[in-house]
Structure 1
């Protein structure tokens, strides 16, 4: 891999060097922001931008880890490869967002520092992405909800004043469009398949739906420097309702998962599933600090 930078990975005009095909944008680079003017735009607070990038980056990082758990476990080899590639797309987004966070807050922390050396309460992802995979239908239901909501968010962020965040969002829309298409196709296939497959798909939706509302609940940082997620609620729910209607599935009526004193994932309040996931995800880095391969 070459040490090119985030803008080259986000530019369709820049062809891949011969023999250097990438599975996912943003992976395989020594410094995702190498060569980029990372000066803060006027009017943007660095601490707020860093916190916002952590929120988005943690969402992508944790869900990437969940998707890669399907390696050797997916129902078909083709789906195993597909889910791994979706995870790599999200990992690419996470790398760039975490790097931007460490630059914007002036701490100098890199993507590895933020991924491997924070504790559970320091992660800012929504609880939807940390929930265990469940069966294949459960994973597809989660992917449908997340990709639909995140695609709408990135469409709004593509015009953000911060050039790095805007570039990640603009390219991320294209990646998430495929994620949404993949999840929609499987939702239709399972919902409109046998009675048993429809039952499993409906159960998957019922299992993840209580975690959806958190994606639309504004955090103070989001309101100051990002997009108000509450504005995305109706269009996203409308899109999901259309997909479920085509699949012959019902829109779940489950209540949102409870918060603790009004605090949830964006505040560092998580389910026990995240701690278990991080223990596995961080074990090698912590067992061999400073090691290189």
Structure 2
């Protein structure tokens, strides 16, 4: 079995890994819908969005790895870290289709997270790191489509049948408590803002609410009350779900290091 690597732990790398890992794990969870979409068009759309997220993760992981000592490649960072070294938002690792979560959960999760990613990429276009700014310039266009797609479905389900509205309300109740983590600053945020690498998470909250609130209103959903609960995935302290996902994600690379197709 291939041993784990030690990723870079400086604040700059932690800040970028948080974005990269959120994209990576969200792509992995959303890929569960491949072959299981409610209609063919949505099956393809969800799969393509997973590939967008994977591309965003790859670009950032490559950039982070080039600055590490010794240098690391994207595959090492994606497949050979221990669970505590992943810094994704807990929202993306929550159980998905295989655990019984439905299409309402999938599109609402895409709205909540996609709106946050869209704002993050928008701000990162002005990053003091030219490579990050270039990655963001492409990613922001993809994220804009993800939000538009999710918003269309959220409104359609919320303003649809009694059953579709019930399922959407249930998804909102399950997912909303995890959104607080999206706006919790730490030392990496403070340094990123000071060096113009990227925005502090807290600075995104007002614009995120402004983007999400009208969609939920059109879907006839009330904005839930803020919860005192705070998830800690972005600090490397994860729910029980991530370990199972990583076992699947990492199995081939761990078992056959350097394997070629």
Q: What per-residue deviation string (whole Å, max 9, x for no partner) do you get for residues 204-262 of structure 1?
A: 11111011010110121122023111111011112211111111111122525345xxx
Could you state the TM-score of these two structures normalised by the residue count of structure 2? Answer: 0.90
Equivalent of residue 97 in structure 1, options 51, 55, 60 = 60
Matches within 5 A, 1:17-36: none
* Structure 1 counterpart of 2:160: 193
Aligned-partner Cα distance in 2 for 1:199–1:107: 52
Q: What runs of 5+ residues in structure 2 fail to find an aligned partner?
A: 1-8, 193-197
Which of the pair is proportionally richer in helix?
Answer: 2
CA contact 2:35–2:43 (8 Å) conserved in 1: yes
Please list every run of at least 4 consecutive aligned residues from structure 1 whose deviation after the TM superposition is greater than 3 angstroms. 256-259
Q: What runs of 5+ residues in structure 1 fail to find an aligned partner?
A: 1-45
Matched, 1:130 2:85: no
Equivalent of residue 283 in structure 1, options 237, 242, 251 = 251
* Structure 1 counterpart of 2:195: none
Equivalent of residue 55 in structure 1, options 18, 22, 32 = 18
CA contact 2:22–2:87 (8 Å) conserved in 1: yes
Aligned-partner Cα distance in 2 for 1:186–1:50: 35
Equivalent of residue 242 in structure 2, options 266, 274, 289 = 274
Equivalent of residue 160 in structure 1, options 107, 127, 147 = 127
Name the SS for the 1:227 alignment partner: coil
Aligned-partner Cα distance in 2 for 1:256–1:233: 16
Q: What is the deviation of 1:80? A: 1.1
Aligned-partner Cα distance in 1 for 2:167–2:89: 24
Tell which has more relative contact order, 1 or 2 (C-alpha 8 A, sep 6+).
2
Equivalent of residue 173 in structure 1, options 140, 147, 166 = 140
Aligned-partner Cα distance in 1 for 2:204–2:49: 23
Equivalent of residue 32 in structure 2, options 49, 64, 69 = 69
* Structure 2 counterpart of 1:255: 227
In the alignment of these two chains, the number of paired residues is 245
Q: Which has the larger radius of gyration?
A: 1
Aligned-partner Cα distance in 2 for 1:168–1:267: 24
CA contact 1:54–1:101 (8 Å) conserved in 2: yes
Aligned-partner Cα distance in 2 for 1:140–1:252: 17
Matches within 5 A, 1:97-246: 97-133=60-96, 134-225=101-192, 226-246=198-218
Aligned-partner Cα distance in 2 for 1:128–1:49: 22
CA contact 1:127–1:211 (8 Å) conserved in 2: yes
Name the SS for the 2:33 alignment partner: coil
CA contact 1:50–1:100 (8 Å) conserved in 2: no
